């Protein structure tokens, strides 16, 4: 079995960088295409990252897998991860649909946390994909994860992550912890309501 450290080799770092930039470039192209069709901007901002070695190691252990290069490539889908933040909920589906028509990319799985939010209240549209790249003169497929969120979804997810990290370092009893979880869930629901109302306002304006 090839060692996990091979993931961090210069060759593989370059491979991941190509996938990362390929996906971010796709978002630019899609934003331009959809903006021309609808006469408004679809994607507000994009970001991406390559998972570090410690995170890969932790994820493999959590999955009960032996640490190794092939195992990481097979079992971990988000060594490369990109995110696009859009203005409206239905924009996420438009972006995902446009991505699905790209012949140099294959969608392996969609996790719709908009229709089925996580217990925490987290909402987003996740896509596990394979991206075709040309590297060292050869074509190959590399897996990556795409996250599509609205402003409201992204706002909640970022603050939820920060608050949970801080909560983990505090001495919070079970009752307080349950109250915090409930409040975060309530706020996630409130932001979903805002997301839906903003779509209705947009539609009214476009009809005028």
Hey, is 124 helix, strand or coil? Answer: coil
| Top-level class of domain 4-155 | alpha beta
pLDDT by position in tens, the chain (length 208): 556 656 667 888 888 999 999 999 999 999 999 999 999 999 999 999 998 888 888 888 888 877 766 777 777 889 999 999 999 999 999 999 999 999 999 999 999 999 999 999 999 999 999 999 998 889 999 999 999 999 999 999 999 888 876 556 555 566 777 788 889 999 999 999 999 999 999 999 999 8
């Amino acid at each position: 079995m090839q060692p996990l450290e091979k993931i961090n080799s210069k060759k593989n770092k370059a491979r991941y960088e190509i996938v990362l930039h390929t996906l971010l470039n796709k978002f630019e192209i899609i934003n331009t295409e959809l903006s021309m069709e609808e006469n408004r901007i679809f994607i507000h901002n994009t970001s991406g990252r390559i998972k570090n070695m410690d995170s890969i190691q932790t994820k493999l252990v959590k999955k009960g897998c032996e640490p190794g290069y092939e195992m990481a490539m097979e079992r971990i889908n988000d060594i490369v991860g990109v995110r696009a933040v859009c203005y409206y909920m239905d924009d996420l589906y438009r972006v995902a649909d446009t991505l699905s028509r790209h012949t140099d990319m294959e969608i392996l799985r969609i996790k719709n946390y908009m229709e089925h939010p996580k217990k925490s209240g987290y909402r987003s549209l996740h896509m596990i994909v394979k991206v075709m790249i040309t590297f060292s003169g050869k074509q190959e497929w590399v897996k990556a994860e795409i996250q599509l969120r609205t402003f409201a979804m992204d706002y909640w997810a970022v603050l939820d992550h920060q608050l949970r990290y801080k909560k983990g370092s505090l001495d919070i009893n079970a009752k307080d912890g349950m109250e915090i979880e409930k409040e975060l869930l309530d706020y996630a629901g409130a932001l979903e309501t805002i997301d839906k109302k903003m779509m209705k306002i947009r539609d009214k304006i476009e009809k005028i």
